[in-house]
Structure 1
Amino acid sequence: MNATTPRPTFRKPAVLGAVAIGAGALLAVGAPLAASAHVSVTPTSTAAGSYTVLSFAVGHGCDGSPTTSLSFEIPEEINAVTPTVNPNWTIDKQMAPLAKPITDSHGEQLAERVGTVVYTAKTPLADGYRDTVSFQVQLPADAEGKTLVFPVTQTCEVGQTDWTDVAKDGQTEDDLESPAPVVVVTAAEAGDHHGGAAMDDDGDGDHTEAAAATDAGTTDVLGRVLGIAGLVVGAAGIVIAASARRAASDAKRQA
């Protein structure tokens, strides 16, 4: 090779390899974290006046500490709550007095409402493991367009997290450190609200709760897909970087 001929460099492939490795690492690590960053809620219905099963998913503890209980505050607009039994948790409904007695849809007088539902883990839920708890409520008939907030206190063996932040004007959930689960009520739908959202053809609600569990798992599936994509990109980056090193080494020997 002529002494004046510039020696080829291979910085670009090496840089591309490093970028690919970094991107893969971010996808593999960041996606699962984003998928389980907070307590999320999935409703079977959001229509005003409908019965809906709200499924709440939790996939992490408090800075690594296992979860021992989840306490849900029920919005004042909701009077009755029917928790779904979960064999991993005990359930306690705590009542709160109503300022003024009301008549429910069955014609019964109510002087108190369910103010809090507490799920206590029979065995603490380890950090990094996911579980879902759910309960049925009837959304207010006159709440179209309203956001119902369900603040959650996550208590762990060490510490607790209060999922109580609510987005203000101009904010999104991503701007909040500890966002509370919320349900935005939509327009009422035609049909029998008493059973439409929560009951299947047999009247037992199994189908809708299964659908809620499926929807609640969608985020986890997305996280896994992105994680796999990250591993693939990272592997490609390693191959590119190795090829660049071999090419550079061969060029030096030929020189």
Structure 2
Amino acid sequence: MSRNTRTRRLSLAALGVLGGATLALAVPAMAGAHVGVSPDELATGDHGVLTFSFSHGCENSPTTALRITMPEGLASVAPTMDSNWNIEVERGDDGLVSAVTYTAVTPVPTDLRGAVSMGVGLDENTPDTLAFPVVQECVEGSTEWTQLAEKGEDPHSLDAPAPVVSVTAAAAGGHGEHAETEDADKGDEATARSAVSDPLGVALGAGGLVAGFAALVVAILAYRRRA
């Protein structure tokens, strides 16, 4: 085997490893790109604290603001004060909060997690599903997280899904005096778990890395047989 041929085989093997490593890093990032809400379930007539979080910008541009539109069916909305965000509240003709804009005091880099929260109250007429369309503004560009899944459609298949909270029937005897605190704790725990890992992204990324190393092994074995 000529030296040029051996060099070409080793170069192809290196490209295989590089491609696998790139897939391992890129796939989790793509799979985890969304604006999530925690908790994603509340009971009719309940009160809770919703936390909206993200760990990405608009491609590589830092996040400057989140504008969250309120769905119909909320009895009350109270944005949580946060020194990292300036808060602007919009109200409809009925006096109820219709949208809340959180503007970052300092743009949130694409590799850091950002989060905002608000207290919400539900009444007996709240629908089964509450969608919160979000517009993520960045230093360059913006992303509208406003898509809603059709009946029977997997929301994870959407490119830019809106955060959604499911509303369940109230438990017998009411929702309990500590419901709001418990919801806030659950929201923080769920958000932390989401920020730590995305099972689908990790699995696909690991597969890409394994494929890259497999390409290297095959190339080395072929090189030894022909040496």
Per-residue deviation, residues 126-155 of structure 1 (Å, max 9, x unmatched):
2232111111111232436x2111111212
Displacement of 1:212 in angstroms is: 1.1
Aligned alpha-carbon RMSD (Å)? 3.3
Contact in 1 for aligned 2:66/2:134 (Cα 8 Å): yes
Displacement of 1:194 in angstroms is: 6.8
Per-residue deviation, residues 140-172 of structure 1 (Å, max 9, x unmatched):
32436x211111121222222222222223433
Describe how 1:61-140 pairs up with structure 2 within 5 A. Answer: 61-98=57-94, 112-140=95-123
Gaps of 5+ in 1: 1-16, 99-111, 201-207
Q: Taking structure 1 as reference, are residues 241 and 27 closer, same or farther at Cα in structure 2, changes over 3 Å only?
A: closer
Question: Structure 1 length as normaliser, TM-score?
Answer: 0.70
- The answer to whether the aligner puts 1:219 opposite 2:194 as a matched pair is yes
Describe how 1:39-58 pairs up with structure 2 within 5 A. Answer: 39-43=35-39, 45-58=41-54
Matched AA of 1:251: R
Residue matched to 2:10? none
Correspondent of 1:177 among 159, 182, 204:
159
Question: Structure 2 length as normaliser, TM-score?
Answer: 0.78
Q: Taking structure 1 as reference, are residues 191 and 241 closer, same or farther at Cα in structure 2, changes over 3 Å only?
A: same
As a proportion of its length, which structure holds more helix? 2
Contact in 2 for aligned 1:32/1:224 (Cα 8 Å): no
Structure 2 CA distance, aligned partners of 1:219 and 1:32? 12
Greater Rg over alpha carbons, structure:
1
Per-residue deviation, residues 186-245 of structure 1 (Å, max 9, x unmatched):
111134437342036xxxxxxx4243122012223223895498469736853x555444
Residue matched to 2:172? 190
**4+ long deviations beyond 6 Å:** 17-21
Contact in 2 for aligned 1:42/1:215 (Cα 8 Å): yes
Structure 2 CA distance, aligned partners of 1:33 and 1:135? 27
- The answer to whether the aligner puts 1:28 opposite 2:25 as a matched pair is yes
Contact in 1 for aligned 2:148/2:161 (Cα 8 Å): yes
Q: How many residues align?
A: 216
Structure 2 CA distance, aligned partners of 1:148 and 1:225? 25
Contact in 2 for aligned 1:66/1:125 (Cα 8 Å): yes
Structure 2 CA distance, aligned partners of 1:25 and 1:125? 24
